[in-house]
Amino acid sequence: MTNQRTTVEVRDHVLVITMTRHQKRNAIDGAMTQALDAALNRLEDEPELWVGVITGGPNMFCAGTDMAATSGTPTARGGIYGVVGRTRTKPLIAAVEGVAFGGGFEVVMACDMVVAATNARFGLPEVKRGLVPTSGAIFRASRVLPLNVAKQIMLTGAELSPADGHRLGLVNELCEPGGALAGALALAAQITANSPVSVQQSLQAIDALASANDALGWALTTKAKKVINASADAKEGVAAFFEKRPPKWTGR
């Protein structure tokens, strides 16, 4: 099934969701949020679907929020992007080629496992725009990475290489460029060889423990976002991005 923003395909018991807004580096607008939400609702609701794979295609994953159009309204079941606020019972694997920046990286962090090509690029550049990550990275980055590394990439805006991501535990499997989807499907096949009841119960138990403080994490994200939205630096950072110039920070 295809719409303007995603392609959805069933392979055995696996639902493959491909973002298809390639001319915008798969930046998420309101239409993509709705498309991702619908696809993940399908994964959750159809008993014969046991595992999901989300990818951006062979050249990129996702550049995050479309800063011109915004990502639209968070959905009832999935939250921001229809993905990052979702409670799932079925595993979701990210297959990452090329850029996974900002909200795109936060989508990766919301998945259960990550297969990345050696040309993948992970980053949280929000501080370079006078912004903060608002889609889960504030509390999830330190779950999938060591605390000091999470601080470093979030406070400097520097990229994390896929090799370092693999060494540090963010990335489950590394593959050659163009091979992320195949690698994710191979990992999915290992999961679907097992009892879906066992897999789902195990995942729910693990996630319940890991997400016990999520309400506090979202509250702190909202607090940071409120301060940022009222700041001159945020306005300057966004203006500089669109005008393709270095920002002039004032610290206000």
Active site amino acids: 106, 126
Distance of alpha carbon 142 from alpha carbon 63, whole angstroms: 21
Q: Which residue, among 120, 121, 114, 150, has the nearest Cα to 133 in the 3D structure? A: 150
| Under 8 Å between Cβ of 112 and 58 | no
Helices 232-243 and 214-229 meet at what angle, rounded to 10?
80
Write out the DSSP string of 17-65.
EEE--GGGTT-B-HHHHHHHHHHHHHHHH-TT--EEEEE--SS--B--B
Alpha-carbon distance 88 to 85, whole Å?
10
- 188-227 burial by CB neighbour count: b if 16+ within 10 A, else e? beebbeeebeebeeebeeeeeeeeeeeeebbeebeeebee
The token pair at 133 is: 């990550």
Q: H helices of 111-192, where?
A: 137-144, 147-156, 162-168, 180-192
Q: Which two tokens stand for residue 179?
A: 């091979």
